[in-house]
Structure 1
């Protein structure tokens, strides 16, 4: 049976943690589809505005050698995404393991035969940390003309 993997994220301010997730995911499936959360979903679900627009993030992720295809997420429910994409394995950082969200994801995906696989979360870098650093630098950065 072909293992179709799905690794989702904003992939905004692309960093080594994103690359690690995609590399580990590809090592554990035959076909890797990367889910890029749309600008609209980022605002609706996380309350954040992306720095890099959806189309550009999708193009960056599509260019990563580990990624076979990209799916832009426009719905908040991962089961709805599964219905659209049809993956057999869902990959997530292990910061979700044992959390309420992670356990719910495992139950919901388990009911439809999808295995949730966790990979080590890259704790030393994150988009949130990069956003904070950029915000701190913002007053010192020159204004583009």
Structure 2
């Protein structure tokens, strides 16, 4: 149970198209806390907040995250507000990629969590591999393999 541990960490993410960047954040997060909870953003929140359709369904993303030896607990994140998740889980450190650092959203997050005594720790964002890049590659493959209007050899009599 999370409340039995001194430093409880929370690492939220979609974790869609799981890649080395996700692995790095979760591994680094676990090294900075006694108990790590990974919040897996629900399919509905991905659609609503990010405007994307997940490639990997929530139940499968949860199973992937739960299978990692350095994740103590994986939960569904069904709300857009991280403070709502804090009220449910009572973590005392929130982990984010450093692509959030010094952004409007990041500063707002820092200010909100400072008021409840939660630290924000940033980890290096993996520039070489990202879900956005993987999604773009999949979209390109899908577009290039889409059927054309040209008749195939099978349509001839």
TM-score by length of 1: 0.95
Output the aligned Cα RMSD. 1.4
1:110 is aligned to: 114
Instruction: Tell me which residue corresponds to 2:60.
Output: 56
User: What is the distance in 1 between the residues matched to 2:135 and 2:63?
Assistant: 21
Aligned mate of 1:47, from 37, 46, 51: 51
Runs of 4+ in 1 over 6 A off after TM superposition: none
> What is the alpha-carbon distance in structure 2 between the residues aligned to residue 142 and residue 26 of structure 1?
42
- Is 1:84 paired with 2:88? yes
Matches within 5 A, 1:1-145: 2-141=6-145
Bigger radius of gyration among the two: 2
What is the TM-score normalised by the length of structure 2?
0.88
